[in-house]
């Protein structure tokens, strides 16, 4: 690709060419109509997202980690998704790691030029000792961020699986990776403002990757969040209701099981279903790699 102007995300959108003279309602309708195409763009990328999840699941099973690396909005979305995994699924904090160009200050402020510093990516990743057990997902809507390309190259050189997530047919700067996820969201309502459609598509895809990964690792039973740790009033109530839903034990007793389990919903469920101690429940789960449905199936058999 010869110039950034050829990127679809940098082109003018004819549907919003007069947006500066529209009424508020017309502006909102225009944005909403453009947003409706995002899910279809993501749907077209499902085969590549599926392969990515195979990589992430395999990495974690081998003791590796999943890295999200990006700049600006892309980096913030990666850090956001990674930060939500531990409280949602009781996963170790270092399982999903978000890395943003410019570091922590870039989460709340625009750090101009951070994406153009490939050497900074090497410095930021050095402490993680990326290896063949890891997966690194480089996020760049245009594929023009030197920081992201450098991170992908570094991970590839160290044997990790690498995925390039872009919202254009092809990245502006190509590099050798194991998989390219292309969510082709097209021109933005405000030209070049990829925090809009491109950013929304990115968040959807990251949610899909992390959620599917956690499900395949036994963190969900049915569609219930059974691996959450009840650390506040809302989650205590949710955890109690989940125990009640799965075991059929009344709400009050389910709350007692949650307390006795050390606020672990999954452990509380097993304690209730097997009528056993916390230690015995934890052992039963460990023997089945944390998969609640396997513990329950063994009981039924």
For residue 258, the domain's CATH number is: 1.10.8.1080
Active site residue 132: no
Query: 10, 34, 48, 115: which one is catalytic?
Result: 115
Catalytic residue among 54, 84, 245, 260: 84
Q: What is the pTM of this model?
A: 0.92
> Could you tell me if residue 104 is inside a domain?
yes
Number of separate domains in the chain: 2
CB within 8 Å of 148: residues ≥ 6 apart: 69, 70, 71, 74, 101, 115, 121, 138, 139, 140, 164
Q: Is 245 a catalytic residue?
A: no
Alpha-helical regions (H) of the chain: 24-35, 38-44, 46-61, 72-89, 118-126, 146-157, 197-216, 233-247, 251-260, 265-274, 278-287, 292-300
Phi and psi at 182, nearest 5°, equal -115, 110
Give the domain CATH number at 102.
3.40.50.10490
Question: Domain span at residue 92?
Answer: 4-216
Instruction: Per residue of the chain (301 residues), give pLDDT as tens.
Output: 567 767 888 888 999 999 999 999 999 999 999 999 999 999 999 999 999 999 999 999 999 999 999 999 999 999 999 999 998 898 989 999 999 999 999 999 888 788 889 999 999 999 999 999 999 999 998 988 999 999 999 999 999 999 999 999 989 899 999 999 999 999 999 998 899 999 999 999 999 999 999 999 999 999 999 998 788 999 999 999 999 999 999 999 999 999 999 999 999 999 999 999 999 999 999 999 999 999 988 776 5
Closest by CA to 204, choosing from 66, 38, 85, is 38
Tell me the pLDDT tens digit for each residue of 19-50.
999 999 999 999 999 999 999 999 999 999 99
């Amino acid at each position: 690709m010869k110039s950034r102007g050829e990127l679809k995300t940098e082109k003018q959108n004819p549907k919003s060419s007069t947006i500066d003279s529209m009424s508020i309602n017309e502006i909102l309708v225009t944005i909403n109509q453009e947003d409706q195409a995002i899910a279809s763009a993501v749907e077209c990328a499902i085969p590549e997202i599926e392969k990515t999840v195979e990589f992430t699941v395999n990495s974690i099973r081998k003791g590796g980690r999943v890295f999200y690396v990006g700049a600006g909005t892309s980096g913030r979305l990666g850090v956001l998704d990674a930060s939500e995994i531990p409280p949602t699924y009781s996963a170790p904090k270092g399982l999903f790691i978000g890395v943003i160009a410019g570091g922590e200050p870039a989460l709340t402020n625009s750090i101009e030029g951070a994406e153009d510093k490939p050497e900074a990516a090497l410095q930021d990743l050095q402490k993680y000792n990326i290896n063949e057990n890891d997966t690194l997902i480089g996020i760049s809507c245009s594929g023009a961020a030197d920081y992201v390309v450098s991170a992908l190259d570094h991970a590839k050189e160290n044997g990790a699986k690498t995925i390039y997530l872009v919202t254009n047919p092809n990245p502006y700067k190509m590099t050798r990776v194991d998989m390219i996820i292309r969510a082709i969201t097209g021109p933005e309502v405000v030209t070049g403002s990829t925090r809009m459609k491109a950013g929304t598509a990115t968040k959807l895809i990251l949610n899909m990757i992390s959620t599917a990964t956690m499900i395949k690792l036994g963190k969900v039973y049915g569609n219930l969040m059974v691996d959450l740790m009840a650390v506040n009033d809302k989650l205590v109530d949710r955890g109690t209701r989940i125990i009640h839903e799965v075991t059929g034990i009344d709400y009050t007793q389910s709350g007692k099981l949650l307390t006795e389990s050390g606020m672990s919903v999954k452990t509380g469920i097993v304690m209730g279903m097997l009528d056993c101690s916390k230690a015995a429940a934890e052992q039963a789960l460990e023997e089945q790699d944390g998969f609640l449905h396997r513990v329950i199936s063994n009981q039924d058999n």
